[in-house]
Amino acid sequence: MTRYLAVFPSLNQVALVKRALLREGVYVDMTRTPQCLSSTGCSFALRCSKGELGLLRKACVAAHIRLGGIFEEDAGTDGPVYRLAHPSHPADGREAGS
Amino acid sequence: MIYLDNAATSWPKPPAVVQAVCRALEAAGGNPGRTNHRLSFDAAQMIQECRENLARLFHIANPLRICFTANATEALNLALKGLLSPGNHVICSSMEHNSVWRPLVRLEEGGVEVSMATPGPCGTVSAAAVAAQLRNNTRLIAIVHASNVSGEITPVAEIGSLAHERGIPLLLDAAQTAGAIPINVETMHIDLLAFPGHKSLLGPQGTGGLYVSETVRLLALKEGGTGSDSSNQHQPDVLPDRFESGTLNTPGIAGLNQAALYLLGRGVEEVQQYEEQLTQRLVTGLAETGNVTVYGPTPGKTRAAVVSFNIGGMDSVRAAEELERRWDIACRPGLHCAPLAHRTLGTCKTGAVRFSPGPFTTTEEIDIAVRAVSELAEIG
Q: What number is the ipTM of this complex?
A: 0.84
Q: Within this chain, do residues B246 and B330 fall inside the same structural domain, yes or no?
A: no
Total domain count for chain B?
2
On average, the pLDDT of chain B sits at 95
Q: Choose the closest CB to A11 out of B49, B65, B228.
A: B228
Q: Choose the closest CB to A11 out of B44, B232, B239.
A: B44
In this prediction, residue B200 carries a pLDDT of: 98
Helix (H, G, I), strand (E, B) or coil at B206: coil
Which of B24-38, B179-193, B238-252 comes out lowest in average pLDDT?
B24-38
In a domain, A35, yes or no: yes
Domain boundary at B266, B297, B319, which? Answer: B266
Domain boundary at B245, B266, B287, which? Answer: B266
DSSP states of B112-139 as a string?
-EEEEE---TTS---HHHHHTT--TTEE
User: CA dist B339 to A67, B102, B344, Å?
Assistant: 49, 11, 8
What is the pLDDT confidence band of residue A95, given thresholds at 50, 70 and 90? very low
CA distance B229 to chain A (A): 5
CATH of residue A40's domain is 3.30.70
**Contact present, B150 and B356 (Cβ < 8 Å):** no
Instruction: Calculate what percentage of chain A has a pLDDT beyond 70.
Output: 89
User: CA dist B257 to A61, A63, B121, B175, B203, Å?
Assistant: 26, 21, 40, 18, 8
Q: Within this chain, do residues B74 and B185 fall inside the same structural domain, yes or no?
A: yes
Contact across the interface for B237 and A44, Cβ inside 8 Å: no
Q: Which residues contact B188 (CB under 8 A, 6 or more apart)?
A: B156, B157, B160, B170, B172
Q: Choose the closest CB to A16 out of B48, B230, B236.
A: B48
Q: Within this chain, do residues B170 and B277 fall inside the same structural domain, yes or no?
A: no
Q: pLDDT tens for residues B311-349?
A: 999 999 999 999 999 999 999 998 898 888 888 888 888
What is the pLDDT confidence band of residue B126, given thresholds at 50, 70 and 90? very high
Beta bridge partners of residue A70, listed in sequence order: A6, A86
Q: Within this chain, do residues B257 and B273 fall inside the same structural domain, yes or no?
A: no
**Contact present, B84 and B92 (Cβ < 8 Å):** no
DSSP states of B124-191 as a string?
---HHHHHTT--TTEEEEEEESB-TTT-PBP-HHHHHHHHHHHT--EEEE-TTTTTTS---TTTTT-S
Q: Which residues contact A78 (CB under 8 A, 6 or more apart)?
A: none
Which of A6-20, B33-47, B201-215, B272-286 comes out lowest in average pLDDT?
B33-47
Going by C-alpha positions, the residue among B51, B80, B81 that lies closest to residue B65 is B51
Q: pLDDT tens for residues A14-35?
A: 999 999 999 999 999 999 999 8
Q: Within this chain, do residues B154 and B99 fall inside the same structural domain, yes or no?
A: yes
Distance, in Å, from the CA atom of B303 to the CA atom of B286, rounded to the nearest integer, reads: 15
Domain boundary at B266, B297, B321, which? Answer: B266
Q: Within this chain, do residues B185 and B140 fall inside the same structural domain, yes or no?
A: yes
Q: Choose the closest CB to B64 out of A13, A18, A40.
A: A13
Contact across the interface for B239 and A14, Cβ inside 8 Å: no
Q: Within this chain, do residues B219 and B332 fall inside the same structural domain, yes or no?
A: no
Would the CA dihedral through B189, B340, B99, B176 be positive or negative? negative
Q: Within this chain, do residues B80 and B197 fall inside the same structural domain, yes or no?
A: yes
Residue ranges with strand state E in chain A: 3-8, 29-32, 44-48, 69-76, 79-86
What is the pLDDT confidence band of residue B366, given thresholds at 50, 70 and 90? very high
In this prediction, residue A88 carries a pLDDT of: 67
CA atoms within 13 A on the CB side of B246: 10
Q: Within this chain, do residues B273 and B239 fall inside the same structural domain, yes or no?
A: no
Model confidence at A89: pLDDT above 70: no
Total domain count for chain A?
1
DSSP states of B294-328 as a string?
E-SSPTTS---S-EEEEETT--HHHHHHHHHHHH-
Contact across the interface for A32 and B52, Cβ inside 8 Å: no
Model confidence at B156: pLDDT above 80: yes
Q: How many CB atoms lie within 10 A of CB B380?
A: 9
Contact across the interface for B62 and A96, Cβ inside 8 Å: yes
B-chain CB neighbours of A16 within 8 Å are: 48, 51-52, 63-64
**Contact present, B143 and B125 (Cβ < 8 Å):** yes
Contact across the interface for B36 and A18, Cβ inside 8 Å: no
Q: Within this chain, do residues B68 and B203 fall inside the same structural domain, yes or no?
A: yes
Model confidence at A92: pLDDT above 60: no
Peptide bond into B119 cis (omega under 30): no
In a domain, A98, yes or no: no
Q: pLDDT tens for residues B76-89?
A: 999 999 999 999 99
Contact across the interface for B230 and A42, Cβ inside 8 Å: yes
What is the domain range of residue A63?
3-86
On average, the pLDDT of chain A sits at 86
What is the domain range of residue B333?
2-10+268-379
pTM (2 decimals)?
Answer: 0.94
A36 phi/psi in degrees, rounded to 5: -70, -15
Q: Within this chain, do residues B246 and B279 fall inside the same structural domain, yes or no?
A: no
Q: Within this chain, do residues B109 and B228 fall inside the same structural domain, yes or no?
A: yes
**B33 touching A (Cβ < 8 Å):** yes
CATH of residue B47's domain is 3.40.640.10
In a domain, A21, yes or no: yes
What average pLDDT does the segment A58-85 reach?
91
Closest B-chain CA to A68: B229
